[in-house]
Amino acid sequence: MEESLGVIETLGYATGMEAADSAIKSANIKLVDWVYAGGGKVNIIIRGDVAAVQTAVDAGVNAASRVGDVRGQTVIPRPAGDLGSIFPISPSEKEKN
């Protein structure tokens, strides 16, 4: 079964770290990657089952909002398989083993 995908976009590295830390602590998810998107924006990318990803995104957004700006968030329950070849949303090789 394909894991759902969650993304939190923040302004600033410290805000992104706060979002990632809170997301990981709140639910059984995997932190896939963080991406510096330019202009100070940092995207935190997580994977897991739908309920866990939704819980983690909500927790990450709430925590990051207390520290800085959250620019966006999304949860995609069943992302298309082709997205992984374009965006860094697939679990790393370390996590697969």
Instruction: Give the CATH class of 4-75.
Output: alpha beta
What residues are paired with 46 via a beta bridge?
6, 31
List C-alpha distances in Å: 58 to 86, 92, 94: 26, 24, 26
Going by pLDDT thresholds of 50, 70 and 90, the confidence category of residue 82 is: confident
Where in the chain are the domains?
Answer: 4-75
Going by pLDDT thresholds of 50, 70 and 90, the confidence category of residue 46 is: very high
Give 21-43 pLDDT, tens digit per residue.
999 999 999 999 899 989 999 99
Mean predicted lDDT score pLDDT of the chain = 88
Taken in order 20, 23, 29, 35, is the CA torsion positive or negative? negative
pLDDT at 94 over 50: no
Cα–Cα dist 37/42, whole Å: 6
The alpha carbon of 36 is separated from its chain's Cα centroid by a whole number of angstroms, namely 13
pLDDT given for residue 68 in this prediction: 96
Residue scoring higher pLDDT (33 or 55): 55
Going by pLDDT thresholds of 50, 70 and 90, the confidence category of residue 97 is: very low
* Mean pLDDT, range 36-64, rounded to an integer: 95
Cα–Cα dist 78/3, whole Å: 7
